[in-house]
Chain A
Amino acid sequence: MQGGTFLVLAYIAIWLGTLAYVGWLALRQRGIAIEVEDVRRLAERQHNADGSAEQPASSK
């Protein structure tokens, strides 16, 4: 089969390339999700710190 090997190699190469990009998107998505959780924890910590600072004033 003339050129058959090149045809198979070409299709393998493009699917590997596409899957590599999907993997890159998934990794970035994972990084964003971790960052969201990090920011949420930071916000909660600040919110709790604000709450404990306000409590003595409101109990007067």
Chain B
Amino acid sequence: MQTTAPSSHAEASQARTPVAGVDWRHLTWRDPALVLLAASAVLMPIAVWLALVVAPVAADSGGSAARILYFHVPYAILCSVAFFVVLVASALYLWRRDTRWDSLARAAAEVGVLYTSLMLILGMFWGQAAWGQPWDWSDPRLTTTFIMWLIYVSYLLLRFYTGRTEQSARVAAVLGIAGFADVPIVHYAVSWWRSIHPPTDYFVNSNGSAAIPPSGIVTLLFSFAALTALMVAFILIAYRQDRATVALREARLALDVDGAE
């Protein structure tokens, strides 16, 4: 999905876009967002079928609800990846002062929050089945993950309420960098403190061999690939929308200046 946004008076006067809705004329198979969405649409039903039917179930982890694992784990890994993109893009924005990095950080934070929310929801259903309660505030993995979610929700709220000023982008970039400090804490929480959450080496035996059968590993790979394709497509679409919004704002400013002259 791509919308052309005029960036100057001349471009604005030449722009030819439909009155409303998505400009479908811009959709071609060379568009990486469309290719990724199509890849995800193909991989996702296979991943869901594998997770619900084929993959093995650990009897001591909530019975059938343990199949939640095959989406819960990829969501958990990918939200950290999205927040790492926020970290890198925010640092590059502060260094280069190029608003494209700011747009990328904003888009990645949005998708990171979505993936964290879905991961938490899946975890709560699994927790209810396995532990008899959806949440345990005394658990370090759960609490640090909730703090991570709060940090990036605050990031998005900051962006929403402070507008598109340079100062707002700078403050958000600092939060995007500082906020990432919680991500490794979330990862190591199960090793550093006592936790009811399964450890990070859940899939590996003490002798280094895989703790789940090959069908479980294949299922994880499929769900990971499907959710990665979807995440990159979402980030790309959100990034383009943000660039279009920036270009429209500049075009409007240019037109206001020309009109005043």
Where the two chains meet, the residues of A that have a C-beta atom closer than 8 Å to any C-beta of B are 1-4, 6-7, 9-11, 13-14, 17-18, 21, 25-26, 28-30, 32-37, 39-40, 42-44, 46-47
Tally the A-B contacts, defined by beta carbons under 8 Å: 137
Contact indicator B3/A36 (Cβ below 8 Å): yes
- Look across to chain A and name the residue whose beta carbon is closest to the beta carbon of B114: A21
B131 to chain A, nearest CB (A): 11
Asked whether any CB of chain A lies closer than 8 Å to the CB of B162, the reply is no
Task: Give the CA-CA distance A34 to B117 in the complex, in Å.
Answer: 30
Which of B11-19, B87-95, B152-160 sits within the interface?
Answer: B11-19
Asked whether any CB of chain A lies closer than 8 Å to the CB of B151, the reply is no
A35 to chain B, nearest CB (A): 5
10 further A-B pairs in the complex, CB-CB below 8 A; given A13-B118, A36-B6, A39-B12: A1-B63, A2-B64, A2-B65, A6-B64, A6-B68, A7-B64, A11-B52, A35-B245, A39-B15, A39-B251
The A interface is mostly helix, strand or loop, or mixed, namely helix
The B interface is mostly helix, strand or loop, or mixed, namely helix
Q: Which of B16, B20, B68 contacts A33 (CB 8 A)?
A: B20
Which residues 91-139 of B sit at the A interface, judged by CB distance below 8 A?
Answer: 114, 117-118, 121-122, 125-126, 128-130
Where the two chains meet, the residues of B that have a C-beta atom closer than 8 Å to any C-beta of A are 1, 3-6, 9, 12-13, 15-23, 48, 52, 62-68, 71, 114, 117-118, 121-122, 125-126, 128-130, 230, 234, 237-238, 241, 244-245, 248, 251-252, 255, 258-259
Q: In the assembled complex, which residues on chain A have CB atoms less than 8 Å from the CB atom of B66?
A: 3
Q: A7-B64, A25-B238, A46-B9 are in contact. Are A33 and B21 (CB under 8 A)?
A: yes
Task: Give the CA-CA distance A40 to B238 in the complex, in Å.
Answer: 22
Contact indicator A6/B128 (Cβ below 8 Å): yes
